[in-house]
Chains A and B, each alone.
Chain A
């Protein structure tokens, strides 16, 4: 029988998906505080999974010329330039003759770029205002008290600077809407608790794409099917590490048993807080969150939305029982209305 938390709440997904004696749940912990933005993950993933090309345009989004997770980019390294202090470092541009920061303005320009990613709908352009804010941070909106005078407000010349980098990937949610809405059973839960598209099954109905609260899964042009990170299901099956995690030079991408990764992550946050990086926080680690916790979670140094992540995603299927109820009610209303209409007086 389905678990009480089958649609929402903490859950061990593999047993719920019918695996008896499932191995421990495996996942990724991506620690962006050590990411060097080298993109080895992007390439290693493409090499292993034979993922096609995803566009050759200069996007102007700092060093990000990939743009987003798509069917043709299963790892995506985000780059954010911000005139704000990096917790561990002394101000980058102390006493240099600078004017105000340009990153909000360049982010705005970059919001307009696009490229043919070989996927549908590709890389849509963005909202310039929201782009500017990502780089400026709230203090650029005249919010009071963000920083002591002379630091980062931009009016008197930039001093602080940090360059955020983050390798994004499918979250392998505990409650994976993409999987649950898939009408063919192409998307399925593996024994490792990961979420995988079975390419021999997918018929390209596209439902999973709308269902994903993270905008991860995507449809490939000229192929029609949906594609995303498989957490290297084939490699896991023979005891290997996923290609991206194996390649990652600085262990920003860590692969392992989810339970253990969560402990490691909590310790890392504590360390960073001790070392003067109070902005370090975890994202997607909590089994009580809106998706039951992610199988791939992150240590971030800014708000999730700055990295293109939804700040508080909730799996859509949480509300599915209520939806069915409303649909049932509507159906009955419809039947009743018809009956009434016909049972009325004959002319």
Chain B
């Protein structure tokens, strides 16, 4: 924009709000817009997607825990985790399809494979993860099969197949848990995009926390020791990874204020409570359950909080215009850099 002149703009950021047009009834905002309307279209995703962020993370975390349990000989935890993973991925698939404007066309997702589209990448990850998680979980039914005959063969084959599938699911699980961070970040939604370095960590931590939480609730107490350690790790990842979200400047506001801010804060608090409870408790089944529930709830709150924050930031032109304006005033148009 070298040929552009802007003699009519007198902006000096942060200064001078004194005299307004006499008829102004509210203090003028420090930016212009078209009738104050949003520049961006707020995300049209319904709460399905916030829910999916949770269920997808839960499935991924559970698959990882399932594999860990499988490899370290914790059959109870393995079973719980595999079923949780399957439940999570099934719920995820339902929520994703349900959120579509044209659900009957969900299979169009498989037309292309686009590295530029986190949703396309996620689709293929889900396509890989889902069947594996399914096979791993179904393999847990082997003991219910008869001893003999064709089904008997299945009964014998199921555990090794389930183990392979469980490991395969676990191999894709970290991608499943973290791509959603990119899914949200790869948008024009100011608070999501600007948080792109943090979101995958927050979501990774949140996924592990949720999965640990379910394990703590449902798995035999004797097998839950890794979950307690994992809860601490999850909290560390989430809190350390997410600390930058508060330093985003104006687009960080929605993570700290309003409904979305309350949800995010609630998520952190619950995470802290759940982690501490998991650490101090070694025996109490009830305390385990509470700890687990807090971790699960933390994950839910965090996901909905992050989701909501993005919507808030897209809805108010301030978050779009101010940072861009600031950038322009400091550096000139993006092109100039």
Residues of A within 8 A of B (CB): 7, 61, 67-68, 78, 80, 84, 100-102, 104-105, 107-108, 110-111, 120-121, 123-134, 136-146, 154-155, 177, 180-186, 201-207, 209-220, 223-226, 266, 269-270, 273, 278-279, 281-283, 285-286, 288-290, 302-303, 305-314, 316-317, 319-320, 322-324, 326-335, 337-344, 346-347
Check A323/B182 contact, CB under 8 A, given A183-B123, A212-B188, A341-B68: yes
Cβ contact of B21, chosen from A132, A211, A330, cutoff 8 A:
A132
CA distance A80 to B260 in the complex (A): 33
Cβ contact of B6, chosen from A144, A281, A310, cutoff 8 A:
A281
Q: Is the CB of B106 within 8 A of A203?
A: yes
Q: Is the CB of B32 within 8 A of A305?
A: yes
CA distance A320 to B182 in the complex (A): 8
Determine how close the nearest CB of chain A comes to the CB of B23; give it in whole angstroms.
Answer: 4
Across the interface, name the chain B residue whose C-beta is closest to A226. Answer: B101
Q: Is the CB of B189 within 8 A of A210?
A: yes
Across the interface, name the chain A residue whose C-beta is closest to B223. Answer: A347
Chain B positions within 8 Å of A329 at CB level: 200-201
A-B pairs with lowest CB-CB distance, top 3 = A204-B101, A224-B101, A126-B36
Given contacts A129-B36, A143-B11, A333-B204, 8 further A-B contacts (CB under 8 A): A140-B28, A205-B99, A210-B188, A288-B335, A305-B321, A312-B327, A334-B207, A344-B225
CA distance A334 to B200 in the complex (A): 10
Determine how close the nearest CB of chain A comes to the CB of B177; give it in whole angstroms.
Answer: 6
Check A142/B16 contact, CB under 8 A, given A278-B5, A342-B72: yes
Cβ contact of A331, chosen from B36, B175, B227, cutoff 8 A:
B175
Determine how close the nearest CB of chain B comes to the CB of A227; give it in whole angstroms.
Answer: 10
Stretch of B84-92, B108-116, B154-162, B264-272 at the chain-chain interface: B108-116
Chain A positions within 8 Å of B173 at CB level: 335
Cβ contact of A211, chosen from B111, B178, B188, B233, cutoff 8 A:
B188
CA distance A184 to B324 in the complex (A): 31
Q: Is the CB of B41 within 8 A of A209?
A: yes
Chain A positions within 8 Å of B284 at CB level: none
Considering only residues 42-98 of chain B, those with a C-beta below 8 Å from chain A are: 42-45, 61, 64-65, 67-69, 71-72
Q: Is the CB of A110 within 8 A of B5?
A: no
Q: Is the CB of B1 within 8 A of A210?
A: no
Is residue B258 contacting chain A, with contact meaning CB distance below 8 A? no
Determine how close the nearest CB of chain B comes to the CB of A31; give it in whole angstroms.
Answer: 15
Considering only residues 124-174 of chain B, those with a C-beta below 8 Å from chain A are: 173-174
Q: Is the CB of B119 within 8 A of A181?
A: yes
Q: Is the CB of A183 within 8 A of B28?
A: no
Chain B positions within 8 Å of A270 at CB level: 3
Check A335/B21 contact, CB under 8 A, given A218-B41, A316-B187, A342-B71: no
CA distance A267 to B327 in the complex (A): 28
Chain B positions within 8 Å of A283 at CB level: 1
Across the interface, name the chain A residue whose C-beta is closest to B233. Answer: A337
Q: Is the CB of B204 within 8 A of A330?
A: yes
Q: Is the CB of B35 within 8 A of A309?
A: no
Interface-centre pick from B67, B174, B314 (highest chain A CB count, 10 A): B174
Chain A positions within 8 Å of B114 at CB level: 180, 182-183, 185
Q: Is the CB of A341 within 8 A of B99?
A: no
17 contacts between A and B (CB under 8 A): A126-B36, A142-B18, A142-B19, A182-B117, A201-B105, A203-B100, A206-B101, A219-B44, A281-B5, A286-B333, A288-B335, A290-B335, A320-B182, A328-B178, A332-B174, A334-B237, A338-B67
Check A286/B186 contact, CB under 8 A, given A131-B35, A146-B10, A279-B7: no
CA distance A128 to B29 in the complex (A): 8
Chain B positions within 8 Å of A212 at CB level: 40-41, 188
CA distance A219 to B45 in the complex (A): 10
Cβ contact of B102, chosen from A131, A133, A203, A216, cutoff 8 A:
A203
Q: Is the CB of B28 within 8 A of A334?
A: no
Q: Is the CB of A290 within 8 A of B334?
A: yes
Chain B positions within 8 Å of A68 at CB level: 37
Q: 0/1 per residue, B224-259, Cβ < 8 Å to A?
A: 011101100110010001000000000000000000
CA distance A341 to B63 in the complex (A): 14
Considering only residues 1-38 of chain B, those with a C-beta below 8 Å from chain A are: 1, 3-12, 16-38
Chain A positions within 8 Å of B69 at CB level: 342
Check A281/B119 contact, CB under 8 A, given A111-B36, A141-B17: no
Check A337/B187 contact, CB under 8 A, given A184-B108, A289-B334, A310-B320: no
User: Using a Cβ cutoff of 8 Å, how many contacts connect chains A and B?
Assistant: 414
Q: Is the CB of A124 within 8 A of B32?
A: no
Is residue B325 contacting chain A, with contact meaning CB distance below 8 A? yes
Chain B positions within 8 Å of A305 at CB level: 31-34, 39, 317, 321, 325
CA distance A142 to B234 in the complex (A): 51
Determine how close the nearest CB of chain B comes to the CB of A150; give it in whole angstroms.
Answer: 16
CA distance A309 to B324 in the complex (A): 11
Q: Is the CB of B21 within 8 A of A104?
A: yes
Check A311/B325 contact, CB under 8 A, given A212-B188, A333-B237: yes
Determine how close the nearest CB of chain A comes to the CB of B173; give it in whole angstroms.
Answer: 8
Chain B positions within 8 Å of A290 at CB level: 333-335
CA distance A339 to B70 in the complex (A): 12
CA distance A67 to B16 in the complex (A): 31
Q: Is the CB of A334 within 8 A of B204?
A: yes
Cβ contact of B5, chosen from A101, A273, A316, cutoff 8 A:
A273
Chain A positions within 8 Å of B205 at CB level: 334
Cβ contact of B8, chosen from A177, A220, A302, cutoff 8 A:
A302
Cβ contact of A202, chosen from B6, B102, B123, cutoff 8 A:
B102
Chain B positions within 8 Å of A338 at CB level: 64-65, 67-68, 208, 230, 233
Q: Is the CB of B43 within 8 A of A337?
A: no
Check A181/B208 contact, CB under 8 A, given A142-B20, A203-B106: no
CA distance A92 to B59 in the complex (A): 66
Q: Is the CB of A312 within 8 A of B324?
A: yes
Q: 0/1 per residue, B183-225, Cβ < 8 Å to A?
A: 0011111001100110111011101100000000000001001
Chain A positions within 8 Å of B68 at CB level: 338-339, 341-342
Q: Is the CB of A341 within 8 A of B230?
A: yes
